[in-house]
Amino acid sequence: MRFGWIVYALSLPAVAINKILIASDMSWSLWAGGFLYLLWTAYGFTVEYLKKLEWRDPIRWPIFIPYVLLYLATVMFYWFLLALIYKPL
């Protein structure tokens, strides 16, 4: 909780880079991860810092499932880019 806001704040530069990629007519696969990161940030920041909901112990499934799915979608879109660059990555 002390430093988690930093991870959420990093979505702002990611969105700025995404806007540059969109303006440069880059493929959607290059910028989709950044916007998923922003969605995950909005959800996580709202749950953890604005509403201050305790959802990890015990696990509150209605909060946990969207949180994890958004996180995994974000990570996978960043990893997919590596596959586009070089398959063994």
Residue closest to 14 by CA, chosen among 81, 64, 68, 66 = 81
Cα–Cα distance measured from residue 75 to residue 72, given in angstroms and rounded to the nearest whole number:
5
What is the pTM assigned to this prediction?
A: 0.82
Residue 26 scores a pLDDT above 90: no
Burial of 75 (0-12, 13-18, 19+ CB in 10 A): middle
Domain ranges of the chain: 4-85
Residues 38-81 have pLDDT tens digits of 999 999 999 999 999 999 889 999 999 999 999 999 999 888 87
- Distance CA(61)–CA(55), nearest Å, equals 8
